[in-house]
Amino acid sequence: MIILAKNEEAGLGNTLGQLSAFEDVIVVDSQSEDNTVEIAERHGARTVDFAWDGKYPKKKQWSLQNAGAVNEWVLLLDADEFPSLSLVRELAILDDHLAESNHGAYDINLLYRFAGRYLRFGHVVTKRSLLHVDRAHFPVVDDLSAPGIREVEGHYQPETSWSIGRLRSRIVHDDRDPVSSWFARHNRYSDWEAHLRTNSTLREHVASKRTSKGRLFDVLPFKPLLFFAYAYILRAGFLDGRAGFDYAVALAAYYWQIGVKTRERLRA
């Protein structure tokens, strides 16, 4: 079963077109006024409305609790994400064993599209996307007053007291928006990250919910420079051509932006 946490109409039809192998597809829509319902119905998906009340649970946790999943295990995706063909096959094999699984969730790497190209090298984002609805949940983080991220959970992972598995195949992050949209989003995200860095207790709480790789990045000194070296050189981002260079620079600049905003908040 798939739950799509939908924020924008762009790319939704393409995403839904990739999900015909799944038994139940739910689009969780934040009361949009576009063609979301029509697109969902055309692809055999059902739509659930979400109206955020400014409190917890936020959108993804609310979806786990209220979207009406027909199965215990769900693949939680953003509207510009879909499982690769190899992941569909891997999930089909795994499905025969999930009833006896001792895991509460599975981590899955993303195949990221940036500036019109899929990036097969460089920095790889990992998301905890395959979740058991009764064993995994998104933590309550005291960030309701933080700028930048509102109704959707921030950059942290759902947690579980059960073990965590990992799948070999990838989720395709098919971002077809212009790069200006990427920069606009990350400008908002950096506001949230800077807020964390001026609240040590909140920062430690969020860091504990990230992957081990995310926790390491969180404490690195000279992060913009080191991240570029890691993504572009150590992880061979240069093999993705100009898009690999641009992505490494963009993320390095994102970390630089967080630092600038953090120092400004501390001075204030």
Element (H, E) at 164: strand 163-173
pLDDT at 259: 94
pLDDT, tens digit (0-9, with 9 covering 90-100), for 130-182: 999 999 999 998 889 889 888 989 888 999 999 999 999 999 999 888 999 99
pLDDT over 80 at 16, yes or no: yes
Position 161 scores a pLDDT of 96
Number of Cβ atoms within 10 Å of the Cβ of 210: 17
Residue in the structure block whose two tokens are 């959108």: 59
d(CA 59, CA 3): 11
Report the DSSP pairing between strands 103-114 and 163-173. Answer: parallel
Radius of gyration of the chain (CA): 18
pLDDT by residue (tens digit) across 76-131? 999 889 999 999 999 999 998 998 999 999 999 999 999 999 999 999 999 999 99
Dihedral sign for Cα 43, 171, 104, 192, please: negative
Q: Which residue from 129, 151, 188, 125 is spatially nearest to 29, judged by alpha carbons?
A: 151
- Range 20-23, long-range pairs (CB < 8 A, 24+ positions): 20/44, 21/88, 21/92, 22/75, 23/70, 23/71
pLDDT attached to residue 2: 60
| Per-domain boundaries in the chain | 2-267
Domain at 2-267, CATH class: alpha beta
What's the CA gap between 205 and 202, in Å, rounded? 5
Prediction pTM value: 0.89
In whole angstroms, how far apart are CA 192 and each of 37, 66, 79, 207?
31, 27, 22, 13
**pLDDT over threshold 60, residue 10:** no
* pLDDT given at position 239: 98
Select the more confidently predicted residue: 259 or 214.
259
Chain segment 53-75, per-residue pLDDT in tens: 999 999 999 999 999 988 999 99
Contact 1, 75 (CB under 8 A): yes
pLDDT of residue 208: 76
Average pLDDT over every residue of 212-231? 84
* Residue 11 clears pLDDT 80, i.e. is over it: no
CA 249 distance to own-chain centroid: 20
Q: What is the mean pLDDT of the segment spanning 215-243?
A: 91
Q: Chain-wide mean pLDDT for the chain?
A: 90
pLDDT the model gives residue 142: 86
* Residue 134 phi, psi dihedral angles, 5° rounding: -100, -10
* DSSP letters spanning 49-91: E----SSSS-HHHHHHHHS--SSSEEEEEETTEEE-HHHHHHH
Q: Categorize the per-residue pLDDT at 184 as very low, low, confident or very high, splitting at 50, 70 and 90.
A: very high
